[in-house]
Structures are given as C-alpha cells and as structure tokens.
C-alpha cells in the first residue's frame, strides 16, 4: 500500500528515523554549503579577511570533507560495534557542533578546512551507522522505504542551503545550524537502543521492550504471533552470530562474500564516479560556467527541489518496484542527462550560437539529480547490508562506506580542476561513460534484494 509506513503499526519506526535524520539533514547542509558559498569566497566580496580563495583552495574546501568522511566511517564503525548504535548516533553531533563553530569564528581558509573535515566525520557516522540502525529497527516490508529517507533528508538540507546560502549573511548560517545538533541530541536520547545491539549484550528483556517500542506494541498482552516469530528469529540470529568463530580471511573468500563485497564496492563507486556528489558540491560553479541565462541562484533551488522529487519518487515505490530496476533506470537516465549537459557545453565552447537553449543546462542538471535520486544516490546505503553475509554485514558496510569517502575525495578534488583543464563537457562525459558501464554490470551482476529477511542466516549457510 502506498505510504503504508504511516499506519499505526509503523509510525514509531518512522518517528525514530525522522529524529535520527535531523543530523542527516544537517549533514546535507554541509554537503551543499560549497555550492553557493565557494563563488562568494572566490569573489572580491569574500567574507574572509585573508582575501578570495584560489581554484586549488576551493577544491580542498570541497574535498576535505571526504578525508574526514574516511576517518569518520571507520571511527563510528568501531564506536557502534563496541558501544551500540545509539551512542554512535549521539556522538555524530560532536563534530557537527565543532564545524559550525569553526565557520562562525574563522577568518581564513584553514578554519574552513577544519570545518569541512569535521563535517566529514559526521558524514562518516551517517554513512556507517544510520543504514545499520535502519536495518536493525525497520520491518522488512518497509525497510527500503525507510532507507530512502536518508537521502531525502540530506537533500532537505541541500534545498535549505541552496536557498539560504545566497541570501542570508555568511555568519548567520552557522548560528542557525548550531540549533540542529542540540535538537538531535534531545530527541535521540529518548529512543531505545536497537534490539539487535541489546541482544548482543545479553539484555534480553530490554531487547524485547525495544522491539515492542519499534513495532508500536504497548504491552506484552498485545504481542502478536508475528512479533513473537520476529523476536525469536532475531534471538536465534544473534545466538548464531555469538557462537560463530571470529571473522577471518576465509570468511571473505566464500562466493557469497565475494559477491557481496563486489556489489558493495560497485554501488559506492557508481555513487561517486557518476559525478553526482561533485555536481552537488559545485553546482553553483557549474551553472555559472554552463552559459545558462537563468539566475544561478534560482537555478540552484530549482535543481535541489527536483532532486527531492526524485527522492520522494524512490521513497514511494522502492519497496514495490525493487532495488535493481530503480538502480538500472537511475544509471541509464543519469548517463543520458550528463551526455546532454556535455553536448551543450561542447557546442558552446566551439562557438555555436545556442541562443534560446540557455535553459538546457539547468534541465540537464536537474534531470541528472532527479534520476540519480531514484537510485544511484540512495540505494547503495541500504543495499549493502542486504547483499552481505550476516557475519560480514557490519564490516562490509564499513569497508563500503570507507571506500565511498575515498572515491568522493577523488571526484570532489578533481572535478573543479578537470572543469578548468578539459572543460565541463570532458568532465561530465567521463561520468556519463561510468554510468554506461554501470548499466551493463547492473543488468548481469546485481541481484534483487527486495523483502529480504536480514534476521536469518543466508541460504548458503543453512
């Protein structure tokens, strides 16, 4: 049923994840922050007393986030493994408070580098903890729908900063954003730890109460047979994991593990080398260089809104259409849209008169983000736990998340330099080619994981 998650049975899952996604939306603001702000920092009207930043400094502003993300992914994976997902989630707010403080008080580009690094630490926590938290608490019938909320909230943050970044004073934005981690801490503090984490610690009664909370069951007398079955499966799953030997190299050499790791690396590589994250980071610069006749400030907001429309489309149909078909449509559409954007840029560069087609770059960019949002940018975050063997699910998510940040560093660091050296058309055509290769891989190698039960051992292990 459309938006089935709004039923009484699911509303606490939705409410819990909405509270968690306060930090996700705040992270989205930091992801999009360079788009309206870098053109300002490079202009004579820069708010930095040290003067305008160079192209190389701008590329470091974009990419320093990814260095923090690589470290943050590993750091928060360790934290949630030993201290639980609730503690890990709460701690993501710490670097977030630091980053906005640095932007507020900073008077040169090094403060911004530090802020972007802290933003990456928070992003690493979002990437490594939030998908596993969702996998722990979500009913399998709506897991994909709830997983799609991650990118929706990131893009809510993007819309805010794209709209506000060009109109609010530079120092007012961090003052506003310092409110969000405080609200996040207050609300998440009231959520119970996930049933899985509590069972791992042997706290059986608390785990049962936690699952009752997330299944909106107020008292034991209202427990259904379905609830009992789910809790028994979860207990058996945790017991089986606890009796297994420690993870060793042989665990990574099974066909299931190799397939899961390949898919994890592939979807994270597609997520970044499709260019979408870099485009979100430098959207303002791309629109300025693309020859559009539309006000770049207005175009940024339109692009971000269409991006959210793509997220909402995925959100509404992902658990009916399936992961594979959405990923295939997304990669195909993004590749074609980037090819069109590159063609317009190339014709403009060689001197063709494109008067009357000034709207085309905005449309192509909007379609890129819309079509990316229905698959490439959100499916990787919840498909990885679905394709990994249960024993390797946590470490597999950490490996994939770490590689995601490393891939992001490469693309975000190189994109502005490539746009200068091989122009926009050369840069986006490379990303379009990546999408073309991805289409073939998705068709032949990516399985459908819709409705997969994560609380039982895989068939190959039975």
Angstrom distance (rounded) from CA 170 to CA 172? 6
Cβ 388 vs Cβ 396: under 8 Å: yes
> Helical H runs in 138-178?
143-164, 172-177
> Helical H runs in 43-92?
55-83, 85-91
Is the Cα torsion angle 450, 451, 455, 457 positive or negative in sign?
negative
* Torsion, Cα of 267, 273, 277, 281 (10° steps): 170
Cβ 86 vs Cβ 132: under 8 Å: no
DSSP per position, 240-255: HHHHSPPP-GGGGGSH
The pTM of the full predicted model, rounded to 2 decimals, is: 0.81
Which among 412, 392, 400 is positioned nearest to 127, based on CA atoms? 400
- 8-191 matches 252-449 in fold: yes
Per-residue confidence in pLDDT tens, the chain, 462 aa: 444 555 677 888 989 999 999 999 999 999 989 988 998 999 899 999 988 999 899 999 989 999 999 999 899 989 998 999 999 999 999 999 999 999 999 989 999 999 999 999 999 999 889 988 998 998 888 877 787 788 889 889 988 998 888 889 999 999 999 999 999 999 999 999 999 999 999 999 999 999 999 998 888 877 888 889 989 999 998 888 777 777 888 888 899 999 999 999 999 999 999 999 898 888 878 877 776 767 777 877 887 888 888 878 887 887 788 889 999 999 999 999 999 999 989 998 888 887 878 788 888 988 998 999 888 988 887 788 788 888 888 788 888 888 988 999 999 999 988 998 999 999 999 999 999 999 999 999 988 877 666 655 554 444
| CB atoms near residue 148 (< 10 Å) | 27
Cβ 444 vs Cβ 283: under 8 Å: no
How far from the centroid of its chain's Cα atoms is residue 42's Cα?
Answer: 28
Write the CA distances from 196 to 74, 105, 201, 211, 352, integer angstroms. Answer: 20, 41, 9, 9, 61
Query: Residue 130 corresponds to which tokens in the numbers above?
Result: 């939030």
| CATH for 252-449, options being 3.30.1600.10, 2.60.40.420, 1.10.540.10, 1.20.1250.20 | 1.20.1250.20
Domain ranges of the chain: 8-191, 200-241, 252-449
Cβ 448 vs Cβ 144: under 8 Å: no
Domain 8-191 CATH superfamily: MFS general substrate transporter like domains (1.20.1250.20)
| CB atoms near residue 21 (< 10 Å) | 23
């Amino acid at each position: 049923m459309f938006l089935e998650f709004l039923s009484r049975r699911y509303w606490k899952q939705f409410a819990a994840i909405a509270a968690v996604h306060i930090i996700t939306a705040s992270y989205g603001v930091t992801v999009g922050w360079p788009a309206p702000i870098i053109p300002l920092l490079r202009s004579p009207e820069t708010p930095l007393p040290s003067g305008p930043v160079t192209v190389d400094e701008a590329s470091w502003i974009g990419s320093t986030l990814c260095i923090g993300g690589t470290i943050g992914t590993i750091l928060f994976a360790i934290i949630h493994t030993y201290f639980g997902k609730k503690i890990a989630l709460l701690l993501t707010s710490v670097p977030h408070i630091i980053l906005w403080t640095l932007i507020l008080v900073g008077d040169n580009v090094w403060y911004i580098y530090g802020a972007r690094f802290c933003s990456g630490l928070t992003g690493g926590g979002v990437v490594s903890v939030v998908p596993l938290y969702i996998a722990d608490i979500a009913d399998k019938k709506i897991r994909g729908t709830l997983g799609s909320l991650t990118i929706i909230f990131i893009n809510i943050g993007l819309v805010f900063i794209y709209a506000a970044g060009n109109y609010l004073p530079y120092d007012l934005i961090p003052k506003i954003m310092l409110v969000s981690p405080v609200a996040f801490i207050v609300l998440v503090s009231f959520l119970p730890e996930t049933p899985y984490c509590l069972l791992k610690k042997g706290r059986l009664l608390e785990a049962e109460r936690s699952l009752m909370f997330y299944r909106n069951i107020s008292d034991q007398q209202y427990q259904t047979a379905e609830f009992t079955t789910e809790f028994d499966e979860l207990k058996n799953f945790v017991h089986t994991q606890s009796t297994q030997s420690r993870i060793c190299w042989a665990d990574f050499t099974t066909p299931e593990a190799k397939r899961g790791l390949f898919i994890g690396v592939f979807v994270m590589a597609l997520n970044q080398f499709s260019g979408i994250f870099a485009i979100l980071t430098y959207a303002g610069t791309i629109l300025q260089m693309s020859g559009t006749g539309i006000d770049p400030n207005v175009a940024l907001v339109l692009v971000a809104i269409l991006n959210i429309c793509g997220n909402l489309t995925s959100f509404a149909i992902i658990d009916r259409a399936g992961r594979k078909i959405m990923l295939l449509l997304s990669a195909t559409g993004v590749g074609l849209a980037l090819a069109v954007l590159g063609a317009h840029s190339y014709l403009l560069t060689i001197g063709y008169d494109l008067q009357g087609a000034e709207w085309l770059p905005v449309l192509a960019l909007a379609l890129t983000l819309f079509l990316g949002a229905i698959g490439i940018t959100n499916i990787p975050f919840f498909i990885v736990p679905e394709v990994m063997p249960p024993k390797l699910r946590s470490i597999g998510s950490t490996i994939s998340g770490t590689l995601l940040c490393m891939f992001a560093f490469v693309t975000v660091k190189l994109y502005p330099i490539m746009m200068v050296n091989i122009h926009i058309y050369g840069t986006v055509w490379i990303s379009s080619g990546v999408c073309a290769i991805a289409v073939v891989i998705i068709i032949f190698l990516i399985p459908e994981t819709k409705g997969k039960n994560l609380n039982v051992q895989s068939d190959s292990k039975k």
